[in-house]
Amino acid sequence: MTIQTNTTRVDTSPIRLVIHGGAGTITRSKLTKELEQAYTQVLAQSLTAGYAVLDAGGSSIDAVIAAIVVMEDSPLFNAGKGAVFSNAGRIELDASIMDGSTRMAGSVAAVTTIRNPIRAAHAVMTKSAHVMLMGQGADAFAAEMGLEIVDPSYFYTQFRWNQLQKAIAEERLMQDHDVVPNTPQPQMDEKVDEKRGTVGAVALDRHGNLAAGTSTGGITNKRFGRVGDSSVIGAGTYADNRSIAVSATGTGEIFIRTVAAFNTAAQVRLQQIPIIEAADNTLAEIAAIGGDGGLIVLDAKGNHAMRFNTRGMYRGTIGSDGIVRVGMFAANDKAVSMPSLHRTR
């Protein structure tokens, strides 16, 4: 899917933003046309927001935040507003961010009142001496830093509440996109296979710096303060100017066990393995011990990859040419133009 934005570049330095919104059993048969359009719209808005930062000469960190905030504010994805419920009926959010130029990083886990956890992760990175904060402490820190704090009811959606009741009745965990999320459509398919709705972004700015970020609500019906890979630096998020920036989505426990993001970066930096091959190697290792999901990868030259071992992954990219490309299903999807999202300078 392609959206052209008209731009006038003042230099030839490459810029690139790549995003994901979760990987899983994502096929055309599972989505109505209206829902597909809704996903396309939000993915395109996310890319446009991040691109505006990069095109104006802003940092890759700020571009990652801008892109992720759009998806955190949408009920379509399992992050922020669209997050899933724990077994206790709470929404507990995880996020992380990393700067490839300094390898500084920040993350939050199991937060409940921060509207945009990716902003809190950034605050941990830049305004504290720590890398990870969790729970009430992280919520209090975010409030002290002046971030937007909301009542937990802000995150409530009837769809996610119904999803929790179904999981409790069936006495099982449900991955975050087990059924189709809230849409403008009055009817939703309750028999959709598992999908993951974690969101993430990687960016390269005109200064040659990489950044990566990831945000999620975790797993429906999770218990005991469970935390997945999205807040774990090296598992769900990693960035290093010497190699690549990575954001992951999928079976969180196994992405932690394989240190998936760092694993991919190490292959590129230490073995000079091409980024696509490195991502595929990591996903093969994950599959070998029972996991699945996807990775978005970007290097300091602007080369990028969006790889997954599931039926599909919500994903997109925009580069120096100002063209937005959005995908959900197999790699051979036809491009779709969306003139309503054209932007002029």
- Cα distance between residue 204 and residue 202, in whole Å: 7
**DSSP per-residue letters across 224-288:** TT---GGGSBTTTEEE-TTSEEEEEEE-HHHHHHTTHHHHHHHHHHHH---HHHHHHHHHHHHHH
Tokens, residue 275: 């980024």
198 is known as an active-site residue: yes
Closest by CA to 291, choosing from 175, 205, 182, 179, is 175
Of 156, 198, 154, the C-alpha closest to 177 is: 198
Numbers of helices and strands, H then E, in the chain: 8, 13
Q: How far is CA 243 from CA 114, 232, 263, 274, in A?
A: 32, 19, 11, 10
Which one, of 204, 230, 225, lies nearest residue 302 by Cα? 204
Q: How far is CA 9 from CA 6, 55, 128, 206, 300, in A?
A: 10, 8, 36, 11, 19
Distance CA 325, CA 317 (A): 5
The whole-angstrom distance between residue 235's C-alpha and the CA centroid of its chain comes to 13
Site of tokens 């071992």? 309
Q: Select which of 48, 112, 198, 214 is catalytic.
A: 198
> Which H helix or E strand runs over 324?
strand 323-327
CA distances from 19 to 44, 65, 101, 130, 341 (A): 10, 11, 20, 26, 17
In whole angstroms, what is the distance from residue 249 CA to residue 93 CA?
15
Q: With contact defined as beta carbons under 8 Å apart, do 328 and 20 qualify?
A: no
Q: Are strands 105-111 and 132-134 parallel, antiparallel or unpaired?
A: parallel
List residues with catalytic annotation.
Answer: 198
